[in-house]
Structure 1
């Protein structure tokens, strides 16, 4: 099913900010930031606004789940039962599988200044146990775009929800000159399949040290372990476009964040509000650790009946 522009939902905020959404993957399709020199700048890159687009990016701007990022061997064991998942990236499952949440149409409504998406994922969906009821509410308040995601389950399961939006604060060109700061003293080393090897590593002396802001400069697809851990809302990353001074802070309640720099982008990837080229956008994906269901030492991704999964992301803008 496609979603033409007339099906998109627009949310207008203060200070000239505007967000555009699609029911396809509960997707953030565009985000406009005002400028002092004239019209607004559209800062979201690569969101196609539709499902299964052969010329689009399947994840850009969507909510990824039931488990965002990678699960090794497309399987995990919970309470003594091993669950086999359909692999969609070699032998791994990525972002919940080929029919994960980012590839489904969500129900949508507007309520109290928010755009609210809902999805019911049945027991056994993409191999995961439990019927999962998911709600994702986007809103604009002041200079902040927020996303509040909640979920409940009928059986013990694993959950890791995030948004996979790509940003470019200049609205064009590549993002390698953007300054990046990530308050993470450790990261998860990975193998050739981007599966964490287990023990955490110190960022000191590595290309993964973003504790002080510096240019992105090169390719990244890496999970960073935030010093604040899981809990209260905390800073996950800060990005600055040095020419204009436009700044984006990503805040989260989760313990980690994935930085990916759009290595696969090409002009062949179509989106209604942006053009693509290699490294045209960076994704900052707040999350628990990749492969957490198979690593007992990692922050738990387990959700049980009677509990509520809750993850809040805030994108805070300044410098315009």
Structure 2
């Protein structure tokens, strides 16, 4: 049995069978009018919560709930009869679990402990130099040693926009991306992100580098996928993006199984996340 206490008085009791009772603060049809110093939970006048008692009955907690809490000076305790206080909510708002404060959250933007390496992966033989409009894509002309990929045929799913003139066509679309890898033995989870739709004259792939760096510092292999050639006005762009995303995952499976590759055995293929923004999400 667990009890939530206000001072020395039980407020809520949860039995070992799962029955829930409200001592002094709840009556069958309505909340009892609050007295000075009592626990008060309010929200407008709507019915918000149903409490099931041991699976036998359900009762609407009417009146008000959850918007405003007025706690007595001694705070609230979540107490087990034999184990003592398990949790305590102080009047200052701090929540303690077995004596340790829990609501001091770590800033998720703070980098983690892993050293991060930078990688460019791309299909071989690409040359964006012939079109000055595509200068931003030159990063994919020189993949990091060991990170050459392959091309795929998307002609059954999509076509490419006519502008700009890409150094490939829909039958040999490259697997290109920017990658951040945590240093260590792994295996590490894999997260691959694809950008949204925009004017394809601008390379949107580097836009997630800040996030790749952060994820990799926390022990996640993180990549930003090049889908710029499926931006603009073209047919089947969402289907094409889905195929490209899956083919990138396949590429990491190839590397994970390739003896001697820097990622050999380092990719946790049971822990893969695919993400995207806007059209990247729909793909």
Normalising by structure 2, we get a TM-score of 0.24
> Which structure shows the higher strand fraction?
1
Normalising by structure 1, we get a TM-score of 0.22
> Which structure shows the higher helix fraction?
2
Q: Which one has the largest radius of gyration?
A: 2
Q: Which has the higher contact order (CA 8 A, sep 6+)?
A: 1
